Structure 1
């Protein structure tokens, strides 16, 4: 028997958990998440949990900046304690990369990120145990920090469940089929078959092997 839903999310790490939670917030609740093991068992469970915004592209920096708002207000927006601690974040660049480094800082400031270049004296005050070469350039983010990745994924899952989403654990995907019209997709596990117009891969390094099932190659 095939179960139909509005969206299927493959992968129960923090990305898949966040996606299904945010779909629920948007009113899309007839959704299914398939995780081959347990929540956060892959890359999420091995993450350092750094919450930082120093990226070299505007898209990534903007997304990271938006995520800071979520982590700063997580209990109100999602529910649960994910252990966010604001520690600040220090970034280093060699002298030969100084122009690109300063361009990145300028781009991040335009987005609204609280970041700035600091001198070695201030860096030593902020992180006295660091050994910093005299030729290195240093940036400091005031608002960055870290959170518990596994707790974050679980909080998103709990929020999604509370709003009607269905979570299947120990449910590895064994096949994916696309209809002749291309308008619907079947995702098949060992125990069930699910169908939807929308399938979202949140499977990190496992994405390439899954997409081979529908003859899609990733670099």
Structure 2
């Protein structure tokens, strides 16, 4: 490195920006600075304090800063369920100097608009296992986390149609259920008659079979996110909302922290978990993540008196083309599959209202399975964003080429239910060098460079005629 740059000047003699100057001088000459080890994904070590070498000229000990830097061992970008789960898991593993930065308020993004259906029904082992671990945490929230996440054990139904392209899924569903049993998920394949016994108000003429998860349920997504954040704070993490991360700071091939609307934060590890809003931050440091923001709508309906006030299971009804869950007594939250109501948008510029035609479409789809819902009343609704990847599976783990930079994004509308387990896995990677609970290798970003993402994650991956935005 040229001596001028080592002393805070560019090669042409012009002063470097304050942030760059701080690292150029301190890194080269040993000025007092929190510096990370040279580890990448994992190999976590507490940053070591470097001391000014005796006899170094004071002119090279440049510490000119427009703002004092804050320090942390780990910075987490994003205050949704992923970000706060990572923070909490880190504190449980002894890393207490963690700061979570959220530009708005906790759960202001996708986590605050999710339906929070705790489905475990995945056709691949990694995601099924993540969902199973997370469900256990949601079920025993007070023990694991403290506080209340609003968990209700409603049960979950996933249907398969008798006709068309969906017919090939019948045998697959039986094999998937067997896989679920192996990884600890209670899944039962029920006949149309058995489903009517469980839910007498449904029509099953078009169903070949259904997978029933008796242990699954729903939570209050905002309450869960805030409760997890409170638990992280009790463990020592700093939760800071209203602070926007404006840039990720990288020197050479490793991360050194972030710049924010409230000043810089130095850290040897940065976890980016801000959904679609992560894309420009990462692109600025050469990490390209193929994510599109997809606008997706849900509606809340008042069930007619002919429907039970409680006791309705959650449904992912691929045959009728809708998903739903209880939203309090006599109320249902629901959405429909298909591309008619899905739009690629800018994450900061989209219509958060539901389309005029959306409510009637929900009623039509639900009444195929539950005829009484034709008389339901649409109360209100909203639109949120899925951070869609090309294969609809998330990106988890180390960012290639930037040591210390970790990713948790691209959940494609199916992330919340796996949040607590993903937080644990990423924290294990930072502290132990690899995830110990679930192997995250399939979720690596590099899969989009070698085209391996085009291959199904399981031989039993479903081919549904209804598109819910993500694969099972």
CA distance, structure 2, for counterparts of residue 91 and residue 210 of structure 1: 37
Deviates most, 33-42 or 184-193: 184-193
Of 213, 231, 235, which residue of structure 2 is paired with 1:159? 231
Give the structure 2 partner of residue 18 of structure 1: 85
Q: Which residue of 2 aligns with 1:123?
A: 195
| One of 148, 169, 182 as aligned partner of 2:220 | 148
Q: Match of 1:192?
A: 263
Where 1:101 maps in the other structure, the secondary structure is helix
Question: Which of 47, 57, 60 is 2:114 aligned to?
Answer: 47
Give the corresponding residue for 2:144: 77
List structure 1 segments (4+ residues) > 6 angstroms apart after TM superposition: none
Q: How does 1:81-100 map to 2 (within 5 A)?
A: 81-94=148-161, 95-100=167-172
Give how far 1:126 is off.
1.6
Answer yes or no: is the 8 Å Cα contact 1:10–1:33 preserved in 2. yes
Residue 135 of structure 1 deviates from its aligned partner by: 4.5
Paired position in structure 2 for 1:36 = 103
Task: Give the aligned length.
Answer: 218
Q: Mean Cα displacement is larger for which, 1-10 or 182-191?
A: 182-191
Deviations 1:50-90 (A, max 9, x none): 11210111001001111111111111111101110101100
Number of the residue aligned with 2:181: 109
Q: Is contact 1:72–1:84 with CA below 8 Å preserved after alignment?
A: yes
Shift of 1:205: 2.0
Higher Cα Rg, which structure: 2
More helix by share: 1
One of 189, 193, 212 as aligned partner of 2:283: 212
**97-106 or 33-42: bigger deviation:** 97-106
- 1:96, distance to aligned residue in structure 2 (A): 2.3
Cα distance, 1:184 vs structure 2: 3.4
Q: Distance in 2 between matches of 1:136 and 1:171?
A: 51
Return 5+ residue gaps in structure 1 as ranges: none
* Cα distance in structure 2, aligned partners of 1:142 and 1:5: 42
Ranges in structure 2 where 5+ consecutive residues have no aligned partner: 1-67, 162-166, 291-472
Which secondary structure does the structure 2 equivalent of 1:85 belong to? coil
Q: CA RMSD in A?
A: 1.3
Which residue of structure 1 lines up, in the alignment, with residue 458 of structure 2? none
Distance 1:174 1:168 in 2: 15
Which of 47, 50, 57 lines up with 2:124 in the alignment? Answer: 57
User: 1:184·1:195 contact (CA, 8 Å) conserved in 2?
Assistant: no
Q: Distance in 1 between matches of 2:132 and 2:218?
A: 14
Residues in 1 aligned to 2:203 and 2:280: alpha-carbon distance in whole angstroms: 42
Determine if contact 2:76/2:270 at 8 Å carries over to the other structure.
Answer: yes
Alpha-carbon deviations, 1:127-154, whole Å to 9, x = none?
Answer: 2333334453211001000011111110
Is the Cα contact below 8 Å between 1:33 and 1:166 reproduced in 2?
yes
CA contact (8 A) 1:179 1:185 kept: yes
Report the Cα offset of residue 107 of structure 1.
Answer: 1.1
Q: Does the aligned pair in 1 maintain the 2:192–2:205 contact within 8 Å? A: no
Between 97-106 and 2-11, the greater mean CA deviation after superposition: 97-106
